[in-house]
Structures are given as C-alpha cells and as structure tokens.
Amino acid sequence: MLRRSLLMLARSEQIKHLAGSMPVSSGIVSRFVAGESVDDVVEVSRGLIADGRLVSLDHLGEDTLDRDQADSTVQAYLEVLKRLADSGLTHGAEVSVKLSAVGQALGDDGARLALDNARRICQAATNAGTTVTLDMEDHTTTDSTLSILHELRQDFPDTGAVVQAYLRRTEADCRDLTRAGSRVRLCKGAYKEPESVAYQSRAEVDLSYVRCLKVLMAGDGYPMVATHDPTLIAIAGALVSRYSRAKGSYEYQMLYGVRPDEQKRLAAAGKRMRVYVPYGDQWYGYLMRRLAERPANVAFFLRSLATKG
Ligand code: FDA
C-alpha cells in the first residue's frame, strides 16, 4: 500500500517541486545519489573501483519531453565516458541508460530516435573500451526496449539487457536472452504495475526471480544478479555451484547506498560485484523508487523535506 502511494507520489508535481529544491548533498539524497556533476561521479567511481568493486553509471533523467533534452542526455553520457577513459577507469566502469531519457517516448518517431541516440552512446562506450546496459522501465516500454536491444546488439553484442522478475512474461524473455555472450541483469522490478501483467505479492515475485535466475544460470549468457535480498543472493550462489559456473561468468549488482557492507563482503570474497551509481540533478523519480522499496527511508526523507533550507 505504502509502496503504491510512494510510486504515485513520484508523479506529484507539488512534492516534486519542493523536493527538487533540496540540495543533492542533503542526507537522504546523497545516500543514494553520487552527486550532480561528472567530477562527483568520477570520484565516487574511483573510490569504489579502488575498493575492488565495479560500477555502472546512470545519468539521472527519464521521461524526456523533447529532442534537445534527449540530445543533452546523450552528450552527458559521451562526456562521462570520455572522463572515465581519461581517468583510466573503464576497466571497472560501464554505463546504464534509460531509453526514455534519450527519446523513446517522443511520439511515433520515439523508438527510432532512442535507437539512434543509444547507438551513439554504445559507439562512445566501445571507443572507451567499455559497455552499455539498457535499464528497463514500466511494462508499456518492454517490447520496444527489447527490440531496440536486439538492433543494438547487431553492432554492439555486449549491450546488456534488464529483465524484471515481477512481470509474468519475464521467464520467457529470459529463455530468449540466454545465448552466449548475452549480458542480462535480473532485478525484481521497481514500477507500479497492474495485476494483468505483474505478480503483486512479494512471495510471487521472489519465486519468479528464482525461476528466471535458474534459466539464466543454466544458459550460456552472462547473468547479472541485481538484488539486495539475502535469500536470493544465497540461491544465486547455490545455482553457480549447481551449474558449475566459472568465476567471471556472472556478477552481482547492487545500488549505490544500499547494503554497502554486503557489497564489500561479496567483493572481498572474490566475486564480481557491480554498484549502480546514479548522478545528476534529475534525481527525484529515482529517489522515490528507492523510498518505495524501504518504508524506513521515508521518515528520513520527510525530515529532510521539513528541515530543508
Ligand atoms: P527487496 O526490495 O526485497 O530488498 C531486499 C533487502 O534489501 C531489503 O530488506 C533491504 O534490506 C535492502 N534494500 C532494498 N532496497 C533498499 C532501499 N531502497 N533502501 C535500503 N535498503 C534496501 N528496477 C527496474 O525496474 N529497472 C531497472 O532497470 C533496474 N535496475 C536495477 C539495477 C540494479 C543494479 C539494482 C540492484 C536494482 C535495479 N532495479 C531496477 C531495482 C529493482 O527492481 C528493485 O526495485 C530493487 O533492487 C529492490 O529489490 P531487491 O531485489 O533488492 O529486494
């Protein structure tokens, strides 16, 4: 119930305006967001990589409303990829891209524009010696995102996919995505979805996650286990043994600011552990999804709002 309310709140213009005037340095924002500038995110990445973790950087922004905004998002990715390369960090850093931020929702031409823009980012990532993963957004975009993924993979086979265990379709999507070299991030899913397309209870989502994980671990691709859930992390470990997966043929992923001790533990145990690191000033929608996942964060957020300025 609270989760649904928060996801609705994410669409409230009033709260968005109020929260948008909070500095990124305020407690609850800086816990989940690396900062607003490229300098900020490069420094955070340097620290995480030095500590034995990998990163995937997300330039925050979604639901882009015009071509100029989509183009400035592309420029932001080109800039951060150049900075990562110049800083010698691309061995440990890739980028995550939301297609809605590069034009997917812009009318009939949206898919074509998003593909062209994503291609520019993939080319820059290849030039820098790294890869791109396409984030997955609400279910109305799944088909379009997967078809753009398939097109991108013609030229950039390392492009990563994301699938969401809460969607009823995802087990079948996993089967389609298990060919050799296919990088697939499996997450539970962070949007408010109707029962017609998505499992609603925590138990059903977790069971779906395990079914999908089995398909990915048994397949020839590269599973990216994106969860903070201790039970699912243990099950992933058991599946690695069951399917005799080589070290380096899969990885764990967690969000910046969530269970950092567990991130360190997995990295110290020699696992590939990637942290998803968002940055930029458009942090509101992202923060609301993080609050919706953990009600304990909400009181902290409300206190930050009340004391701002
Ligand atoms: P769950 O929500 O059950 O949390 C398990 C435990 O983790 C909690 O009990 C708590 O201890 C801790 N925890 C989880 N979230 C927390 C939070 N916000 N604050 C504090 N503690 C928290 N979704 C999507 O729809 N599209 C996408 O592209 C992505 N991409 C993505 C990348 C990566 C690397 C990750 C880790 C996650 C995503 N997600 C996502 C988000 C994902 O769908 C999901 O909403 C969150 O990961 C929370 O689900 P968990 O699997 O962690 O389980």
Based on the domain organization, do 186 and 244 belong to the same domain?
A: yes
Only one residue has tokens 């989502």, namely: 205
Residue of minimum CA distance from atom 2 in ligand 1: 293
In the structure encoding, which two tokens stand for residue 95, read together?
Answer: 């980028």
Give a yes or no: residue 259 inside a domain. Answer: yes
Q: For the chain, what is the domain count?
A: 2
Q: Is the pLDDT assigned to residue 254 strictly greater than 60?
A: yes
pLDDT in the model for residue 8 = 64
pLDDT in the model for residue 309 = 37
Burial class of residue 60, CB neighbours in 10 A (0-12, 13-18, 19+): buried
In the structure encoding, which two tokens stand for residue 287, read together?
Answer: 């923060």
pLDDT digits (tens, 9 = 90+) for 139-168: 999 999 999 999 999 999 999 999 999 999
Based on the domain organization, do 2 and 81 belong to the same domain?
A: no
Based on the domain organization, do 7 and 66 belong to the same domain?
A: no
245 is catalytic: no
**Global pTM?**
0.92
What's the mean pLDDT in 196-225? 98
pLDDT in the model for residue 287 = 84
pLDDT in the model for residue 146 = 98
Q: Is the pLDDT assigned to residue 34 strictly greater than 60?
A: yes
Q: How confident is the model at residue 306 (pLDDT cuts 50, 70, 90)?
A: low
Based on the domain organization, do 79 and 164 belong to the same domain?
A: yes
202 is catalytic: no
User: Residue 146 in 3-state DSSP?
Assistant: helix
Atom of ligand 1 nearest to the CA of 255: 36
Based on the domain organization, do 273 and 253 belong to the same domain?
A: yes
Based on the domain organization, do 92 and 210 belong to the same domain?
A: yes
What's the mean pLDDT in 135-141? 97
Which of 196-200's residues contact partners 24+ apart within 8 Å by CB, and which partners?
197/139, 197/167, 197/168, 197/169, 198/139, 198/166, 198/167, 198/168, 199/165, 199/166, 199/167, 199/168
* Contact between residue 226 and residue 187 where contact means Cβ atoms under 8 Å apart: yes
In the structure encoding, which two tokens stand for residue 225, read together?
Answer: 């286990």
Give a yes or no: residue 266 inside a domain. Answer: yes
Give a yes or no: residue 287 inside a domain. Answer: no
Based on the domain organization, do 27 and 148 belong to the same domain?
A: no
pLDDT in the model for residue 238 = 98
Distance 39 CA to ligand 1 centre (A): 26
The CATH code of the domain that includes 183 is: 3.20.20.220
Based on the domain organization, do 15 and 157 belong to the same domain?
A: no
Q: Is the pLDDT assigned to residue 67 strictly greater than 80?
A: yes
Based on the domain organization, do 140 and 182 belong to the same domain?
A: yes
What's the mean pLDDT in 276-291? 88
Q: How confident is the model at residue 282 (pLDDT cuts 50, 70, 90)?
A: confident
Give a yes or no: residue 47 inside a domain. Answer: yes
Q: Which protein residues touch ligand 1 with a CB less than 6 Å away? A: 135-136, 162, 164, 185, 187-191, 226-229, 253-255, 258-259, 276, 290, 293-294, 297
Which has the minimum average pLDDT: 37-46, 74-83, 121-130, 280-289? 280-289
Based on the domain organization, do 254 and 308 belong to the same domain?
A: no
**Which of 48, 62, 227 is the pocket-test mutation for ligand 1 (most atoms within 8 Å of CB)?**
227
CA 54 to chain centre: 14
Distance 256 CA to ligand 1 centre (A): 10
Based on the domain organization, do 184 and 129 belong to the same domain?
A: yes
Amino acid letter for position 255: L
Distance 293 CA to ligand 1 centre (A): 7
User: Domain of 50?
Assistant: 34-282
What's the mean pLDDT in 118-124? 98
Based on the domain organization, do 22 and 58 belong to the same domain?
A: no
Give a yes or no: residue 188 inside a domain. Answer: yes
What's the mean pLDDT in 171-178? 98
